Amino acid sequence: MALTLFAVTLGLAPVVHAGTAAQQRAHLTRFLIPAGAPLAAFALSEPGGSANFDAPPPAEGVRTTAVRDAGDWVITGAKKWVSNSGGWDGTGPDLMCIVARTDPAAAASTALSVLLIPGPVTGLTVTGTPDTIGHRAHSTPTITLTDVRVPEGNVIGDVGGGLRIVGSAFGPAAAQVGVFGLALMRAAFDHALRFARANRRGGPVPIIDYQAVGYALASAKTRIEAARSLTWRACHALDTGSPAGHELALHAKVFGSETAVAVITDLMQVVGVDSYAHEQPLGRLLQDALALPLFGGSNLGLRRRQLHAMLREPGYDEDATVSGTPAAPRPRATPQRRPARTGRRAASSR
């Protein structure tokens, strides 16, 4: 359910970040009215994988095309793993932002555009629904688009400017995947801690009294707090417009998602074999966590590649994520002596 809501904000991100005032009035209004349950989707991924979505032919990850015809764009292709793309009833979401190739001969930097498709979508067909391991309540169908027509004015930003829009939408999304991992770890830790305090598992004392269990819980909590701090820093950097925001978001995504899988697996060992049954929540939490390194830009196929590209830049500053936006130096204040406090109030102030 949370992922469905998150996908709505991701689907609206291109309109918010790069849409004209007219596009925003026309397409955001229904999502601001406190009635109904409109869905939005950001259609990027395609069958066969889209890690190289920005690559030129013949290795292009985006093969969906949009061709001008009589004042319209005619969109043809297929998308997969796109949250909410089928809508509630298989006719598509209320609004879809779709990444398509508007100039097959152009370089990658100018070949892609993002177009708005309001629903219901004539020409959209749901051709399958993946039987996923986790996120069982969330819809990511495979869809085909056959001669879907939208007006020429439905391009977001400039024609050929899709790469920048994809980056502005999926950059913050990386940090939010870190939040997902943190939430799953927190739920798993709370359960394992309560279990360890309440269960003896055939022994004379609750298992939390054993060093092995206590150390495992302590290690899990350390990793949770590390992921929490990194994720909060990434979100704060994005909210404040820090130039370090994008890199921190990528680190939060990679570290938070992979740490979630490792921590939940370790906590299952604290509980024991009973955690393998659905009567316990840990197996379900692990099933959901397994998706995190893979979606929202897979850690291996995309996110580490983006970090690698940053590190290769000649002007890369490894300290930028420490300081964030450089602050102007403050004038040194003249120290002033204050009267010493005494008693309980002074102790509490320290």
CATH classification at residue 102: 2.40.110.10
Q: Are residues 116 and 187 in the same domain?
A: no
Q: Are residues 103 and 241 in the same domain?
A: no
53-73 pLDDT, tens digit each: 767 666 677 899 999 999 999
The C-alpha atoms of residue 255 and residue 233 are separated, in whole angstroms, by 13
Q: What would the mean pLDDT of 318-330 be, rounded to a whole number?
A: 60
> Residue 98 pairs with which residues in a beta bridge?
43, 115
Q: Are residues 293 and 190 in the same domain?
A: yes
The C-alpha atoms of residue 326 and residue 328 are separated, in whole angstroms, by 7
What domain count does the chain have?
2
Q: Are residues 196 and 121 in the same domain?
A: no
Q: Is residue 232 part of a domain?
A: yes
Q: Are residues 178 and 83 in the same domain?
A: no
Contacts for 195 with CB less than 8 Å, ≥ 6 apart:
270, 271
Q: Are residues 267 and 292 in the same domain?
A: yes
Q: Is residue 295 part of a domain?
A: yes
Q: Which domain holds residue 101?
A: 2-157
Q: Are residues 141 and 177 in the same domain?
A: no
Q: Are residues 215 and 114 in the same domain?
A: no
pLDDT of residue 40: 97
pLDDT of residue 345: 37
**Cβ pair 11, 40 in contact under 8 A:** yes
120-163 pLDDT, tens digit each: 999 999 999 999 999 999 999 999 999 999 999 999 999 999 98
